[in-house]
Amino acid sequence: MGRHMNPEKNGENTDSETQISMDDQDAQLGAAKQAAASGQPIQMLECLHKSRALDGLVRRLQSKWQVLASSDIDMAVAKAVDAAYSCLRSGKTVTRFAGFLWKVADRRAFDCARLLHGQMPTDPTVLENIADPSSVLPGHDPDDAEDERNAMIRRAAQIARKLVPKVHFRLYSSFCSVKA
């Protein structure tokens, strides 16, 4: 079935199965832009929902970023919608609305995937198993203790380096959410 047809299943049309024409989608996207520009976020969201653009955006992101959880994809789309609203509300021109949403959502998904790739599990039980470097067990050579201490310092530095992107992302996210 083509994009312009309304598929029916068991004689019933469900909301998730309804397809719309390109012209209808373009009209809904245009209405969403106008609603955002005039400061009507609820109407913008309703028009975006009717346009089915967000559904397609989610499917494309899920296909491209299979390593991400659906909640991460949803958050990327939400941030794209927020960015679009902010841009349009401030008077900026967005010529290709669906393209704008895709670009922002894809970049947010990339940021999230990059963070996941660089993350190291910081389970408290794992961290507890790293011994206190100042303690020397009875019967151990102090020189060995120094080597163990240096190894633990290197390990702690590795863990700290892995945490820096998480902290940076949280600071960046909080800055962006305040600015937008």
In tens, the pLDDT along 72-106 reads 999 999 999 999 999 999 999 999 999 999 999 99
For residues 14-38, average pLDDT = 86
Between residues 139 and 86, the one the model is more confident about: 86
CA separation, residue 30 to residues 27, 43, 53, 73, 167 (Å): 5, 12, 12, 24, 38
Is the pLDDT at 173 greater than 70? The verdict is: no
pTM over 0.75: no
Beta bridge partners of 9: 12
Phi, psi of 9 (to 5 degrees): -125, 120
Burial status of residue 79 (CB atoms within 10 A of its CB: 0-12, 13-18, 19 or more): buried
Phi, psi of 36 (to 5 degrees): -65, -45
Lookup: tokens for 143: 């020189």
Is the pLDDT at 4 greater than 60? The verdict is: no
